[in-house]
Structure 1
Amino acid sequence: MSQISIVGYESDCNCEHCGRALKHGVRLSDGRLVGATCLDKKLTKPRQYKGKSFRFGAEHIIKIAKVVQFYSPSNWARFGVSASSTTFEGIA
């Protein structure tokens, strides 16, 4: 499977997945700009924790994108963001 990483944040843009106008856009490692809902529900698989699947949710993905955009990786831990939380497994 392909790995998708969050590399930045943009405001007031359009989703390249569904075409919606967005207040919060998430920049991906492959260059696409998508909405947090599309990334969470359509483009990635759920994560596994102790045998149960879960998803971060759009609000948490927006927070991760803002932290990645505006802070250096050494400061991400202050906001509860790690390098593993910025990487997702894409749907084939």
Structure 2
Amino acid sequence: MTFVTRWVIGVGVYDNPADLSAKSWTVMRFSETEQNGKLEWLIRKDGCMHCEDPGCLKACPSAGAIIQYANGIVDFQSEHCIGCGYCIAGVSI
């Protein structure tokens, strides 16, 4: 398969969704490795880390879209989201 063909049809991945965004806060990342001639899957969940000082909360211009509870949980309230994506830009990790 040539680079052009791969670019046009895309590279097959199992990540779901393909990446984090302002509309998807959790992604399952899949990696393939070879161990002793056998295929091994490494799967990891990537998403909100419930930071002590959440950059997403500071960056969000929409009051109430991202909140942090007293117990540290960072939560998203979709009804207050304006879809600007600043939350993603504000994440430092």
TM-score, normalization by structure 2: 0.28
Larger Rg: 2
**Between Structure 1 and Structure 2, which shows a larger proportion of strand residues?**
1
TM-score, normalization by structure 1: 0.28
